[in-house]
Structure 1
Amino acid sequence: MTTLVAAPHYRGKHAPPPIPSLGRTCWTLLAAVGTARLGYFVVPFLSYWLVTDRALTATQTSLVLTAFGLGWAAATPLGGWLSDRYSRRHVIIVSAFGASAAYLALGLSHSLWSLTVFAALAGCMFDLYRPASQALITDTVPEQRRARALAALYLVMNTSRGVACIVGGALAESNFVALFVLNAAANAAFGIIAAAALPPDPARAPGQKSRWGEALADRRLIAFTAITAVFFTIHMQSMITIPVVAAELGATPALYGLILAADPAAVLIAQLAMQRRLEHQDPIRVCAIGIATVGTGLAITGIGTSVTWLILTTPIWVAGEVAFFAVAPAVVASLAPDHLRGTYFGIWGSAMGLSAVVAPLAAGAVTAMSGTAGLWTFCALGGLATAAGCLRLGGRLAPALNPLT
């Protein structure tokens, strides 16, 4: 088990020891993931495309999005388990080429049946690589730099995503097919880089195998995953309900792309400004503050009456998103035994896929009962309640974390 340990303070003429670098494997992986995310066109535009280009009803769109979410929910625990059982590198390569094929098939689909099937496949391939990547970073990066390296993975993904949203919005104005083709090409490039440049997995202790039961028996992991699932369900409204609000306010595809790009752009600025300070705080407290900020921030954005309001208020909840993701992966890495890193990251990552299933259903149910205002109230109060639960969990996690101070 690894721990987050505070760096010692050096005084006088004794210089601190040099900080280890992230290493070639980590930088190669960051470059490969960044390449894939430059083609991040399909996922943020999926609901918009289904409604406008495939003319699906709200119910049919929800069905396709639910299928995507179910595939996403299965992807991370499967990818994590496979990376522990077999090979991190091979899981990353399969995910890259599998996603490329799935996006092409989805873009060529017209019937509700085929859209649903290929959406599920795309959801499964879309994030299969993530727990393998997080485990590979934890394997190869020196302990003093793991928190920063895991945060760098999130930063790279969002920087590339910001570029993709702007380009995707422009492409969607005239040709939705290009979104799928370029997304598939970017994932294929990801696979080529991973196959050519990532080294074989580091050697592991003999006799150690990935066991689901061992990971699922860790109540700390399950509790933190449950908290993360609620957080993601709230955060997912930025991809489910905010696009609907934007469309109702008259946003064109290009303008909607700019709105989407405001999120990763704010992530880039906020993370560069906050990362070093966040690394030296109690990680559970940082997670709690992030959860509360996302819930209340989304509520503020959602009640807006203009596209300008949406753009100007996005940085509020993005700051909470940055706070959570800057430290949450390092929390999971600290809990995981060496031979179960992929499995731990996979179980924790399943919270995102599960929320992709639950979030549309929750949004529809709450909106039907109390309107859009009720949904944003749910986000705000849910964020505050989940943040309180996170702080309560902190006492149980403290022995494993030894938080940075």
Structure 2
Amino acid sequence: MRRWLRETAGGLPATYWYLWTGLLINKVGAFAMLFLSLYLTSSRGASESLAGLVVGAYGAGGAVGVLLGGLLADSWGRRSTLVWSHLAAALGMLALAFTEHLVAIAVLAALVGVTHSMPGPAFVAAIIDVVPEDRRSRAFNLQFWAFNLGMAAASFLAGLLAESSYLALFLVDAGATLVTTVLIAWKVPETLRRTAGGRSPEAPNRTGRRRPGLRTALTDRTFMVFVGLTFVLAVLTTQTSTIMPLAMRADGLSAASYGAVVALGGGLIVLGQLFVPRLIDGYRKHLVLAGSTALLAFGFGALALADHLPVYLAASVVWTIGSMLAAPPNAEINAELAPAVLRARYQSVFYLTFPAAAFVAPALGGLSLQHLGDWHWVVAGGLGLAAALGHLLAGPPRERRVAAIRRTTSTATPLVAEKA
């Protein structure tokens, strides 16, 4: 067991582990927004429609925060972005805890959405900065595991705290965010690397032209094809929290049954994610992604035949394994396609797939389920298989693009690390 742990987690720098610990602490404490709609309706007298608008404001803020976090992490610095966004998020949570006016709550929810999403691109960019390429698969795998472990713990703690006090939800959430802020400020150095002249990626070059920015990522055809395929994966996985509960209710299954399906998936990830690198090492990334996306397609497609809980549970095992296998190569490819000076910007574009899927999946999925019934899951499965084929077709040219980036990087002007 000790040898396996060394193989799984060994060889990663101390800075990575401080980032990993900060992510875990933050996710364990990130539960107040999970109960925002219930808090608004039960404690602040908001209607269900108004509560939905406020929660939507938080989601819209998250989309803005992802892009803003990428821009700041590439120009201002990873450490600075992480520290100040976490501090702002903690202050926002404290303000939400004591604010009673619904308009003010909606504004604060949007601002908290911005600050909650800002650290994402900076976290990943910092990991890419400090972890050698041959260890990134394990690093990203452990990051995905910490994220899910933290969310599982947050869901459990939130249920306990919500029964006693909604105020405690916000205060503990803010406290966990402050702990993460202190840890990063104390232990994580600045990992953004500058040119030898000390310029940031956004500074004008000698010809007066600005260096490539966010538009570079959005017009990078190879990268955007990859983002599009990831968006399909995100739409499929979002079915579990948006459309599947409606389908289970239509089949006469209780909320407890839905909870059992979700808990099974979360338990599989917590127990099995650490074994994933040993399963996929040595396989080409696009083949792993094609296979994992196919598993997602078969898992969700099987719900067309699901009328009883055992079928839902079996399907959950299939699509959860697919999600687990997809996580490391997805993160690795995202890192490989990003030019060094635009790492966080590329991350921010990539991260946009998830709030976009969170909007598309319920908006179109609800209509699809209403009009197609069980055929909705056939369509979902077909979409997943098309994405699997897309990975098979896009993989070889993507590998050639990565090889070209490596050649360019190896001949580029040496960089010097910026002092913390």
Normalising by the smaller structure, the TM-score range is 0.7 to 0.9
1:152-231 → structure 2 map (5 Å cutoff): 152-205=142-195, 206=197, 207=199, 209-210=201-202, 211-231=213-233
Contact 1:162 1:263 in 2 (8 A): no
Number of residue equivalences: 381
Letter in 2 for 1:392: L
Q: Does 1:40 align with 2:41?
A: no
Cα distance in 1 for residues equivalent to 2:100 and 2:314: 37
Q: Show CA shifts across 1:196-245 (max 9, x none).
A: 11113354224451412322232111111122122212211222234556
Q: Which secondary structure does the structure 1 equivalent of 2:243 belong to?
A: helix
Cα distance in 1 for residues equivalent to 2:110 and 2:301: 30
Cα distance in 2 for residues equivalent to 1:239 and 1:208: 40
1:341 to 343, 348, 362: 343
Q: Which secondary structure does the structure 1 equivalent of 2:255 belong to?
A: coil
The answer for the alignment partner of 2:137 in structure 1 is 147
Contact 2:78 2:122 in 1 (8 A): yes
Q: 1:310 to 1:75 in 2, by over 3 A?
A: farther
Q: Does 1:73 align with 2:63?
A: yes
Where does the alignment leave 5 or more consecutive residues of structure 1 unmatched? Answer: 1-18
Cα distance in 1 for residues equivalent to 2:384 and 2:315: 17
The answer for the alignment partner of 1:251 in structure 2 is 255
1:87-126 → structure 2 map (5 Å cutoff): 87-106=77-96, 113-126=103-116
Cα distance in 1 for residues equivalent to 2:325 and 2:155: 22
Deviation at 1:55, TM superposition (A): 7.5
Q: 1:236 to 1:28 in 2, by over 3 A?
A: same
Letter in 1 for 2:182: I
Q: Which moved more, 1:102-111 or 1:75-84?
A: 102-111
Cα distance in 2 for residues equivalent to 1:65 and 1:294: 28
Contact 1:165 1:258 in 2 (8 A): no
Which of 1 and 2 has greater Rg? 2
Contact 1:161 1:261 in 2 (8 A): no
The answer for the alignment partner of 1:357 in structure 2 is 359
Q: 1:236 to 1:158 in 2, by over 3 A?
A: same
Q: Show CA shifts across 1:28-73 (max 9, x none).
A: 1111111111113235445666677777666545534433332222
Deviation at 1:397, TM superposition (A): 0.3
Cα distance in 1 for residues equivalent to 2:215 and 2:305: 44
Q: Which moved more, 1:165-174 or 1:108-117?
A: 108-117
Q: Which moved more, 1:302-311 or 1:327-336?
A: 302-311
Letter in 2 for 1:251: A
Q: Does 1:332 align with 2:322?
A: no
Deviation at 1:339, TM superposition (A): 1.0
The answer for the alignment partner of 1:400 in structure 2 is 401
Q: Does 1:84 align with 2:74?
A: yes
Deviation at 1:392, TM superposition (A): 2.0
Q: 1:110 to 1:325 in 2, by over 3 A?
A: farther
Q: Show CA shifts across 1:253-288 (max 9, x none).
A: xx9777644333211223222222223211122222
Q: 1:299 to 1:331 in 2, by over 3 A?
A: same
Contact 2:248 2:258 in 1 (8 A): yes
The answer for the alignment partner of 2:121 in structure 1 is 131
Q: Which secondary structure does the structure 1 equivalent of 2:185 belong to?
A: helix
The answer for the alignment partner of 1:281 in structure 2 is 283
The answer for the alignment partner of 1:4 in structure 2 is none
Contact 1:62 1:360 in 2 (8 A): no
Q: 1:311 to 1:96 in 2, by over 3 A?
A: farther
Q: Show CA shifts across 1:328-361 (max 9, x none).
A: 1110111111111111111111111222222221
Q: Which has the higher contact order (CA 8 A, sep 6+)?
A: 1
Q: Which secondary structure does the structure 2 equivalent of 1:200 belong to?
A: coil
Q: 1:394 to 1:137 in 2, by over 3 A?
A: same
Cα distance in 1 for residues equivalent to 2:55 and 2:68: 20
Q: Which secondary structure does the structure 2 equivalent of 1:236 belong to?
A: helix
Q: Which moved more, 1:24-33 or 1:220-229?
A: 220-229
Letter in 2 for 1:209: P
Cα distance in 2 for residues equivalent to 1:323 and 1:381: 20
Cα distance in 1 for residues equivalent to 2:259 and 2:173: 15
Letter in 2 for 1:121: L
Q: Which secondary structure does the structure 2 equivalent of 1:118 belong to?
A: helix
Letter in 1 for 2:15: T
Q: Which secondary structure does the structure 2 equivalent of 1:280 belong to?
A: coil
TM-score between the two structures when normalised by the length of structure 2: 0.79
Deviation at 1:305, TM superposition (A): 5.5
The answer for the alignment partner of 1:388 in structure 2 is 389
Letter in 1 for 2:18: T
Contact 1:104 1:180 in 2 (8 A): yes
Q: Which moved more, 1:149-158 or 1:100-109?
A: 100-109
Letter in 2 for 1:325: A
| RMSD, aligned α-carbons | 3.1
- Report percent identity of matched pairs: 28
Cα distance in 1 for residues equivalent to 2:248 and 2:179: 32
1:358-377 → structure 2 map (5 Å cutoff): 358-371=360-373, 373-377=374-378
Cα distance in 1 for residues equivalent to 2:97 and 2:365: 26
Q: Which moved more, 1:306-315 or 1:177-186?
A: 306-315
